[in-house]
Structure 1
Amino acid sequence: MRVGAHVSIAGGVDNAVGNELDVGGNCGQIFTHSPQVWQDPDIGAKEAERFRAQTDAELNGPWVIHSSYLVNLCTPKPDLREKSAASMQAEIDAASTLDIEYVNVHLGAHTGAGVDTGLENAVSVLDELSIPDDVTVLIESDAGSGTKLGGEFEHLATVLERSEQELDVCLDTAHAFAAGYDLSSADAVNATIATFDDVVGLEHLRCIHLNDSKHALGTNKDEHAHIGEGEIGEDGMRALINHPALETIPFVLETPSEDGKGFEWNIDRVRALRN
């Protein structure tokens, strides 16, 4: 079973490996810099070499780079589009340097341009990127609040179909639940996974952000809860963790650190729920 968490790179990207091991993970996710600012990754050759060597020796993988929160692929604004494209290219280049397989990104918000125009904007930005064969961009499902796109599986499918790039998907369970896809029981999980397969295709599912939700089904509110302790609940989480179509997909946790529980507790919880 491949399960891990989003960990810090404070002090150097190579520190992420030890941080992942400390919480019991064997795969994981990082930011290459603060996600709240426009900043390029600053990764030295020696720390990159240490990261690659330690990853090969200690982890099962994969790693995922999560793009900056400021990136908006759907924007109609030329300046934001340019910054978003440049930021994505920098993350892709960093992933290639670090031998990281995936770069994860939200589609962003169309901010009044309309759904179809927003999706076309996203496709056009993605198609400008130079993506090497050893890196894949993952489009992450969204909670769908406001004009944000990616809450509907059809949005993800449209981008994959229209883009000239070989793109895949990261499914966030809390986001999908908030967007109206029920995951709170075994039957609901089966139905939602079948819908995803029909609309997007399970062959495109490369990573799952495994998070419970603090808010009810279809509320479009994105706030993560501890595994089995949110609105998805233990039954839903157990069904996800043991679903036969997901058994080879890496689970990456973005659960909170609160109530005396952090990533280690949540990773242990995932393993305890695995049959």
Structure 2
Amino acid sequence: MLMIGSHISSSKGYEAMGKQALKLGANTFAFFTRNPRGGSAKALDLEDVKRFLEIAEEHSFGPLVAHAPYTLNPCAAKPEVLDFSRRAMGEDLEKLEALPGNYYNFHPGSHVGQGLEVGISRIAELLNQILTSEQSTMVLLETMAGKGSEVGGRFEDLARIREQVERREKVGVCLDTCHVWDGGYDIVHDLDGVLAEFDRVIGLEHLKAIHLNDSQNPMGSHKDRHAKIGEGTIGLSALCAVINHPLLRKLPFVLETPNDEEGYAREIHMLRERYRDE
């Protein structure tokens, strides 16, 4: 069965997110752990969590992909930005233990002129400070488009972060189709080659989720502009090849396309129709 969903607003709580996912035809979803532009997180309502877990079990939901706020920069130069990143990620991971066994995705950040090596070391250092042996949530490094001083535009960036993390078994990868395409990986004409490169550099066993997005830009543009499924430069055929690839088809797929709820429901239905059940 295809595990697919979209980003859903967390403003009304977990039960409401679960019901909204079902309305869209989804069996997984992503949500921001707090306002995507930063700020404090809402207090955890354990009764709300319990009601959601009942919905998820009844409808066989796949793993959820929680998303850290965009304002995090785990390799920032400013101490106050690093401190916020450390505190926010630590708080988020603690709360996610109420939903055991899911994923926490974050952008590796920008080294802002400090250099790639410094950026990689700072991200790994932060992860070493917040990861615990007891946690059930896996943290996912997201592949990025490589714009500006962004870390994560190459698979090697993520591999080097993992190598410096002490509890690397708690760290996986989320591959964003728009980001890798904009980053210069040809998933349209050579998906097998891209996956072989990922396997060589990182290891496909560490790939845990896919952000399924089309792109507004040509390959290698390093711009990170998402498009609706089938309306961008990647195209519907190539994205259907992603969801049906034998090395990827069991992963959760999350749509981050520029859509409203009706648009997400339409895309989920369209992709389900093109998914080849084994």
TM range (shorter): over 0.9
Superposition RMSD in Å: 1.5
Kindly indicate whether residue 93 of structure 2 is the aligned counterpart of residue 92 of structure 1: yes
Which residue matches 2:201? 199
Answer yes or no: is the 8 Å Cα contact 1:13–1:32 preserved in 2: no
Answer yes or no: is the 8 Å Cα contact 2:75–2:111 preserved in 1: yes
Any idea what SS the aligned residue of 1:4 has?
Answer: strand
Which residue matches 2:147? 145
Shift of 1:170: 0.4
What code does the residue aligned with 1:226 have?
K
* 5+ long unaligned stretches in structure 2: none
**Correspondences of 1:1-275 after superposition (within 5 Å):** 1-99=2-100, 101-131=102-132, 132-165=134-167, 166=169, 167-185=171-189, 188-257=190-259, 262-275=263-276
Any idea what SS the aligned residue of 1:206 has?
Answer: strand
Q: 1:41 to 1:141 in 2, by over 3 A?
A: farther
**Aligned counterparts of 1:146 and 1:41: Cα–Cα separation in 2:** 32
Shift of 1:194: 1.0
Answer yes or no: is the 8 Å Cα contact 2:140–2:172 preserved in 1: yes
What code does the residue aligned with 1:198 have?
R
TM value normalised by structure 1: 0.94
Shift of 1:74: 1.3
Answer yes or no: is the 8 Å Cα contact 2:34–2:68 preserved in 1: no
**Aligned counterparts of 1:190 and 1:92: Cα–Cα separation in 2:** 34
Shift of 1:2: 1.0
Q: 1:25 to 1:35 in 2, by over 3 A?
A: same
Any idea what SS the aligned residue of 1:171 has?
Answer: strand
Shift of 1:66: 0.2
* Residue correspondences, number: 272
Answer yes or no: is the 8 Å Cα contact 1:174–1:212 preserved in 2: yes
Shift of 1:237: 1.1
What code does the residue aligned with 2:265 have?
E
Shift of 1:41: 3.6
TM value normalised by structure 2: 0.93
**Aligned counterparts of 2:46 and 2:262: Cα–Cα separation in 1:** 35
Answer yes or no: is the 8 Å Cα contact 2:228–2:257 preserved in 1: yes
* 5+ long unaligned stretches in structure 1: none
Answer yes or no: is the 8 Å Cα contact 2:242–2:249 preserved in 1: no
Shift of 1:100: 5.1
**Aligned counterparts of 1:73 and 1:32: Cα–Cα separation in 2:** 16
Shifted more, 28-37 versus 202-211: the winner is 28-37
Answer yes or no: is the 8 Å Cα contact 1:64–1:101 preserved in 2: yes
Shift of 1:130: 3.6
Answer yes or no: is the 8 Å Cα contact 2:97–2:135 preserved in 1: no
